[in-house]
């Protein structure tokens, strides 16, 4: 496939590959070179548009590494409230809500119970 490229395209493809492999920014790489950053960026864009960078295997290290990275699978998590149960114990009432257990003794403070219920609602 390299034979399909002109000499000019080969030169710019090699410069583009060297830049990608360098890990430098475009401006850092082109500093002190006989061509400008915008020219190298244009050639990279042009060669990619024509499919010459891929066909010639001249992708940068990052692109090759990304191609080897397995896809990440995502799962959607939907929280569903657990069933609520109320049962009586020997000392009072036990309330279980979404895995939380509250024991309400016969002599309880209504204000504290209200705070606990509000906290459980906010946690959901």
Residue 120: pLDDT over 50: yes
Tokens at 66, concatenated? 């990304």
Coil/strand/helix, residue 93: strand
Domain ranges of the chain: 2-68, 85-123
DSSP state of 4: G
Highest mean pLDDT among 28-42, 46-60, 68-82, 106-120 belongs to 28-42
Residue 104: pLDDT over 80: no
On whether the CB atoms of residues 59 and 20 are closer than 8 A, the answer is yes
Q: How many CB atoms lie within 10 A of CB 55?
A: 13
Higher pLDDT, residue 22 or 109: 22
Mean of pLDDT values over 32-43: 94
Closest to 19 (Cα-Cα) out of 7, 30, 6? 30
């Amino acid at each position: 496939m390299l034979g399909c490229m002109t000499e000019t395209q080969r030169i710019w493809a090699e410069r583009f590959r060297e830049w990608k492999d360098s890990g430098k920014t475009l401006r850092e790489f082109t500093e002190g070179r006989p061509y400008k950053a915008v020219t190298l960026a244009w050639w990279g864009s042009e060669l990619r548009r024509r499919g010459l960078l891929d066909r010639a295997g001249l992708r940068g290290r990052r692109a090759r590494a990304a191609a080897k990275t397995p896809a990440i699978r995502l799962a959607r998590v939907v929280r569903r409230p657990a069933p609520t149960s109320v049962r009586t114990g020997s000392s009072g009432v036990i309330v279980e809500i979404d895995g939380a257990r509250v024991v309400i003794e016969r002599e309880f403070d209504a204000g504290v119970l209200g705070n606990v219920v509000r906290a459980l609602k906010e946690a959901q």
